[in-house]
Amino acid sequence: MNWTGKLIAATIDHTLLKATATEDQIKALCSEARQHKFKAVCVNPYWVPVCARELAGSEVLIATVVGFPLGANGTAVKAEEARRAVAEGAREVDMVINIGRAKAGDWTSVREDIAAVVKASKHAIVKTIIETCYLTREEKVDACRAAVDAGAVFVQTSTGFGTGGATAEDVRFMKESIGDAAFVKASGGIKTYEDAVAMLEAGASRIGASAGIAIMRDAEASV
């Protein structure tokens, strides 16, 4: 497939999740997303109202993160975080699973945690971050199944704050695990056009990247 800049842009969640992000930087993120017609911006919950104002009348979606980046918040806290973010304008919620419960094989708790966020998010799309760098191959399968069973629309590779990010191998494996039951978002360490294409070719439908502008420059240069 010929991955043009336009096609790539339509898959990108333009991301700024640094603790040091300022309001001016968030506003710039929104402006860049409008200019390049990215699919969404992805920000910490505090900045959702700012994005809602900046992107009013735009087709760019607002995504936020829940239980981020460790996934170790209580389920009720995650659900309330999601509920409030959606009320303030978020249309997508990227939640981190309880990784400790996953490592212990307590998939009932993992599934219930995800389901509570799905319920609280109402009409918003939930993307479940399974943090692949910490999971075995079998655990990745179980995490993807838990996400699908709980009603998540996407399974997502990484927070970008763990020991590793997205790999084409993981994306391919996750997509094979869920088939058409959900979509895959690749995130973490995707810095170039070539990186993005590799993830999309492996089966990702969405790319989470803080390097969206660099990716677009690469895409234009590759034409």
Give the integer Cα–Cα distance in Å for 183 and 162.
Answer: 22
Mean pLDDT score across all residues of the chain: 97
Task: Kindly list the catalytic residues.
Answer: 94, 185
Q: How much is the pTM?
A: 0.97
Confidence band (pLDDT; 50, 70, 90) for 221? Answer: confident
Question: For 112-152, what is each residue's pLDDT tens digit?
Answer: 999 999 999 999 999 999 999 999 999 999 999 999 999 99
* Structural contact between residues 121 and 108, judged by C-beta atoms closer than 8 angstroms: no
3-class secondary structure, 80: helix
Domains in the chain: ranges and CATH:
5-222 (3.20.20.70)
pLDDT digits (tens, 9 = 90+) for 25-47: 999 999 999 999 999 999 999 99
Q: Within 10 Å of residue 205's Cβ, how many Cβ atoms?
A: 17
Binned at pLDDT 50, 70 and 90, residue 222 comes out as: confident
**Which DSSP category does 151 fall into?**
T
**How far is 204 from 196, CA to CA, in rounded Å?**
9
